[in-house]
A and B are shown apart, each in its own frame.
Chain A
Amino acid sequence: QKEVEQNSGPLSVPEGAIASLNCTYSDRGSQSFFWYRQYSGKSPELIMFIYSNGDKEDGRFTAQLNKASQYVSLLIRDSQPSDSATYLCAVRGGADGLTFGKGTHLIIQP
């Protein structure tokens, strides 16, 4: 059974600071990794994905992947109150969709 682990939080970060969200996964054969943001009562929306070791930057967001440690993270720079949401880490290892973590609840304090 593939597993994706996230700290459920809440993670509280002051406005303007860097928020760091972490995720570990159990399947060494996993090929690609996704971060989704989900506001309360809404469906998940993609922030970014990564499939090569290292960093990938998109605006204020940076995804980091370390396959040897089976670890993926998301950094949010200059955090805004609108970034307050649940962040879901997801992993793909084959053709059967994504395996999701339970999500980390992020609160940006004004």
Chain B
Amino acid sequence: DGGITQSPKYLFRKEGQNVTLSCEQNLNHDAMYWYRQDPGQGLRLIYYSQIVNDFQKGDIAEGYSVSREKKESFPLTVTSAQKNPTAFYLCASSRRIDSTGANVLTFGAGSRLTVL
């Protein structure tokens, strides 16, 4: 079945440590996205990538980094510079944007990061 796989599902980190969240998709989608969700809040865009080897900052990119070396993969690194990293992280993908802008985002199951 096609879909998006995020790992790990749960992750605990000590302050000052970098962690990398994995996101892999087999939907042959060009675009991939990382969102962060805090309790009672909507989703906020961290980074997105429309094509391999290219990515753009979203609204809250500070303290995060990404890479897009393969079409299928878009890992997110939460660095020690991120002041409040405890959150639910969601990876999504979509086909390349068409003129209607109606391309649907498909989400992975999410990764829940807790900083101890």
Residues of A within 8 A of B (CB): 1, 4, 8, 31-32, 34, 42-46, 49, 51, 88, 90, 92-103
Contacts and interface: CB of A to CB of B under 8 A. Distances in A.
14 contacts: A8-B40, A32-B101, A32-B102, A34-B104, A90-B43, A90-B105, A93-B101, A94-B97, A96-B45, A97-B33, A97-B35, A97-B58, A99-B45, A100-B35
A44 B105 CA distance: 10
Given A32-B101, A43-B108, A51-B101, A4 B42 contact: yes
A95 B43 contact: no
A51 B43 contact: no
B109 to A, nearest CB: 5
A34 B58 CA distance: 19
Contacts, number: 67
A58 to B, nearest CB: 13
A4 B108 CA distance: 23
Interface of B: 31, 33, 35, 40-45, 48, 50, 56, 58-59, 90, 92, 97, 100-110
B107 A101 contact: no
Contacts of A42: 109-110
A78 to B, nearest CB: 25
B89 to A, nearest CB: 10
A100 B43 contact: yes
Contacts of A49: 102, 104
A34 B92 CA distance: 14
Given A97-B33, A102-B40, 10 more contacts: A32-B102, A43-B107, A43-B109, A44-B43, A46-B106, A49-B104, A51-B100, A51-B101, A88-B42, A95-B97
Nearest to A29: B101
